[in-house]
């Protein structure tokens, strides 16, 4: 695919980003774009590798290897190289409903398993994907595609994150009347309030797609919290089938001394309020804001990075990020071979911004927080940390062990807990009577997606646990297919 000798002739090239010191002054997306000639050269690097691991979408050593929605990457790379952009868009849309989302926020496991990446920098798959879909919007090739006929069946999709939107679009294409119930004031779920605007623009990107889905006939009902202001029993009565796409929104807590002090917050509460402020929907005086404060982020994943980037834009005084794991190596370790996801050290956008201002990577590895200390008014003013090392216990499990004499105290007025999520919230599954698995996710087999209640399906993080946007799209598509089969006795959905 591409040019047979392209991977020899052209080096990997990515578009420049706006400088860290400039981009922290606003909430706009910060990636520049390559010109068409450069993009076609990058697509030409795609090898005729015979077995394209990039689109396998398998789990290896607990992480994704290859594209979970099985994008036909070599095919659209070849089309881009040849300048056939519209055909590339059609090929991309065969497997991915929303490449404008994955092209921005997906960590690109496809690039981690690119065959060229065995001994050279991999193909710039993610950037090419995003360029294809944006070219499609610019040229007017992406339009609403309402179904020609309706089946008379009504389906409720609970949750409007990536899994919910994918399920809704596929079920609508099958001709069913789809209503998406969202408890927030705007549709989009994680895409709207869980990811900051500088990574995924809400008006120009998220709402652009929502409006297209509405034009296709999908109905969005916001402020509909099923189980509270929208009865689960009424939903069962009014719809022929239900697809649960509520996400894994129960945050992992840190139950230590001082946890209830003012100024200690879950990351998602902070990110939601920050986005509301950008959209002009927050209270006049924000309840959680980093301006002029010493900020500590606990957790080293994508959510932690988003907290770092948001605090930088709000004008924090200092910023530290604690990570209980060890600092990753600069290159793949022996136990992390290709085509596994490469667990290597990198500076993400938030850390780049903090380093540009404070002169160093804000992350402190192998560190955990022991307690929070408050002032006379009950607000957090300090925290105590301790260094750890990982040791194997009697059951062969690695656990962190505190190192005596390494306790340190530092000032802090805002603590953001970004340690991941434990699974879905339990009220709705309980109201519907669906069973949970041993991890307390909604019990539904991958590939079948049917819960213990006939006609109720589950997809995305509420079924599989905290995961990637691209896995959510995969599962939303799959759940729609099985829901359609259950409703009609057969299905033509991919």
pLDDT of residue 113: 96
Interval 375-421: pLDDT, tens:
999 999 999 999 999 999 888 889 999 999 999 999 999 999 999 99
The confidence score (pLDDT) of residue 1 equals 60
In degrees to the nearest 10, what's the CA dihedral of 151, 153, 154, 160? -60
pLDDT beyond 70 at 286: no
Cα–Cα distance between 328 and 339 in angstroms, integer?
Answer: 17
- If you average pLDDT over residues 139-165, what whole number do you get? 98
**Domain covering 6-139, topology:** Fumarate Reductase Iron-sulfur Protein; Chain B, domain 2 (1.10.1060)
Kindly give the residue spans of alpha helices, DSSP state H, lying in 344-460. Answer: 349-358, 427-432
Q: Do domains 154-249+422-488 and 253-419 have the same CATH topology?
A: yes
Does the pLDDT value for residue 284 go beyond 80? no
Dump the DSSP string for 202-268: IIIIIHHHHHHHHHTT-EEE-S--BTTTB-HHHHHHH-SEEEE-----EEPP---BTTTSBTEEEHH
Report the CATH number of the 253-419 domain: 3.50.50.60
User: DSSP H helical segments within 364-445, as ranges?
Assistant: 427-432
Q: Which CATH class is domain 154-249+422-488?
A: alpha beta
Q: So where are the chain's domains?
A: 6-139, 154-249+422-488, 253-419
Mean pLDDT, rounded, of the chain: 95
Report the pLDDT averaged over residues 290-314.
97
Task: Return d(Cα 124, Cα 137) in angstroms, integer.
Answer: 21
User: pLDDT for 456-491, tens place per residue?
Assistant: 999 999 999 999 999 999 999 999 999 999 999 999
pLDDT of residue 283: 64
């Amino acid at each position: 695919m591409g040019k047979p000798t392209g991977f020899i002739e052209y080096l990997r090239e990515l578009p420049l980003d706006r400088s860290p010191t400039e981009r922290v002054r606003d909430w706009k997306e910060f990636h520049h774009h390559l010109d068409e000639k450069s993009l076609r050269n990058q697509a030409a690097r795609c090898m005729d590798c015979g077995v394209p691991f990039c689109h396998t979408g398998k789990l290896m050593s607990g992480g994704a290897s290859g594209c979970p929605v099985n994008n036909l990457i070599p095919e659209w790379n070849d089309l881009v190289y040849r300048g056939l952009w519209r055909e590339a868009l059609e090929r991309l849309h065969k497997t991915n409903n929303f490449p404008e989302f994955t092209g921005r926020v997906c960590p690109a496991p496809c690039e981690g398993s690119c065959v060229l990446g065995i001994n050279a920098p991999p193909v710039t798959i993610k950037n090419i994907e995003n360029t294809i879909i944006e070219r499609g919007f610019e040229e007017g090739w992406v339009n609403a595609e309402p179904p020609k006929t309706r089946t008379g069946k009504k389906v409720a999709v609970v949750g409007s994150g990536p899994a919910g939107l994918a399920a809704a679009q596929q079920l609508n294409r099958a001709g069913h009347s789809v209503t998406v119930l969202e408890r927030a004031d705007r549709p989009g779920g994680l895409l709207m309030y869980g990811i900051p605007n500088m990574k995924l623009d809400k008006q120009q990107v998220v709402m652009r797609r929502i409006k297209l889905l509405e034009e296709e006939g999908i109905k969005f009902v916001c402020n509909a919290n099923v189980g509270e202001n929208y009865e689960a029993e009424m939903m069962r009565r009014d719809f022929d089938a239900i697809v649960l796409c509520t996400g894994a929104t129960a945050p992992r807590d840190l139950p230590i001394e001082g946890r209830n002090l003012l100024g200690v917050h879950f990351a998602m509460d902070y990110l939601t309020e920050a986005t509301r402020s950008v959209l002009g929907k927050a209270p006049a005086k924000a309840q959680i804001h980093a301006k002029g404060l010493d900020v500590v982020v606990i957790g080293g994943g994508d959510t932690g990075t988003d907290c770092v980037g948001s605090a930088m834009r709000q004008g924090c005084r200092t910023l530290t990020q604690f990570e209980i794991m060890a600092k990753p190596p600069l290159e793949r370790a022996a136990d992390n071979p290709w085509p596994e996801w490469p667990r290597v050290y990198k500076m993400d956008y938030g850390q780049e911004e903090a380093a540009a201002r404070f002169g160093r990577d804000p992350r402190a590895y192998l560190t955990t927080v022991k307690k929070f200390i408050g002032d006379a008014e009950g607000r957090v003013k300090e925290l105590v940390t301790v260094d750890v090392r990982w040791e194997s216990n009697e059951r062969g499990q690695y656990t962190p062990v505190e190192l005596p004499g390494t306790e340190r105290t530092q000032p802090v007025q805002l603590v953001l807990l970004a340690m991941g999520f434990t699974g879905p919230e339990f009220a709705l599954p309980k109201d519907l009577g669906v069973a949970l698995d041993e991890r307390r996710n909604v019990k539904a087999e991958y590939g079948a997606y049917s819960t213990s209640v006939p006609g109720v399906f589950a997809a995305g993080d509420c079924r599989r646990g905290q995961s990637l946007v691209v896995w959510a799209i995969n599962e939303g598509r799959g759940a729609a297919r099985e829901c359609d089969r259950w409703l009609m006795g057969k299905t033509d959905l991919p």
